[in-house]
């Protein structure tokens, strides 16, 4: 499993291309050859960049779902809506397709934020708002998720 570190600010050009910051590109370099999958996030209005190896693991789990269940089919359809295979070009740029830019409200200023094994791509203002919103109950959430009272 990959594990990324850091939060990086960058800009997108008029075509939706962003230059991957050097420190992040260094972390991604062993994965550049296999490519990435870019998709809409489930819970936030941001994008998620999956290394192809991580995407394949996720798809193996999803492939185990019973496709004769309407609920499972609906989930798969919505989860994979707008999914794109993307690559980092020789200049270190990543092209974000227009429809994904629209979904995430991405215009010019971006934040690339590590989320363990994927990278979240945010419009800078939306990212700052999401962090501010989460600050209010983060201590309670941390205690609930990591506090050890959940029987583990």
pLDDT digits (tens, 9 = 90+) for 88-104: 999 999 999 999 999 99
Domain-embedded: residue 19:
yes
CA-only gyration radius of the chain, Å:
17
CATH number (domain holding residue 142): 3.40.1550.20
Q: Is the pLDDT of residue 109 over 80?
A: yes
Q: Is residue 63 part of a domain?
A: yes
Q: Which domain holds residue 111?
A: 7-146
Q: What is the predicted pLDDT for the residue at 133?
A: 78
Inside any domain, residue 151: no
25-29: long-range contacts at Cβ-Cβ below 8 A with a sequence spacing of 24 or more? Answer: 25/88, 25/92, 28/4, 28/88
- Classify residue 68: in a domain, yes or no: yes
* Domains identified in the chain, total number: 1
pLDDT tens figures, 7-56: 999 999 989 999 999 999 999 999 999 999 999 999 999 999 999 999 99
What pLDDT is recorded for position 11? 96
DSSP 97: P
Residue 1 within a domain: no
């Amino acid at each position: 499993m990959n594990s990324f570190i850091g939060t990086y600010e960058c800009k997108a050009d008029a075509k939706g291309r962003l230059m991957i910051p050097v420190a992040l590109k260094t972390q991604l370099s062993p994965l550049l050859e296999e490519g990435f999958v870019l998709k809409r996030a489930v819970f936030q209005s941001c994008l998620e960049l999956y290394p192809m190896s991580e995407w394949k693991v996720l798809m193996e789990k999803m492939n185990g779902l019973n496709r004769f269940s309407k609920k499972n089919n609906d989930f798969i359809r919505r989860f994979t809506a707008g999914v794109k295979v993307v690559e980092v070009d020789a200049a270190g740029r990543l092209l974000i397709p227009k429809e994904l830019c629209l979904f995430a409200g991405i215009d010019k200023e971006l934040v690339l934020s590590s989320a363990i094994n994927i990278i979240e791509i945010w419009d800078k203002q939306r990212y700052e708002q999401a962090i501010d919103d989460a600050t209010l109950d983060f201590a309670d959430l941390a205690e609930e998720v990591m506090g050890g009272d959940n029987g583990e």
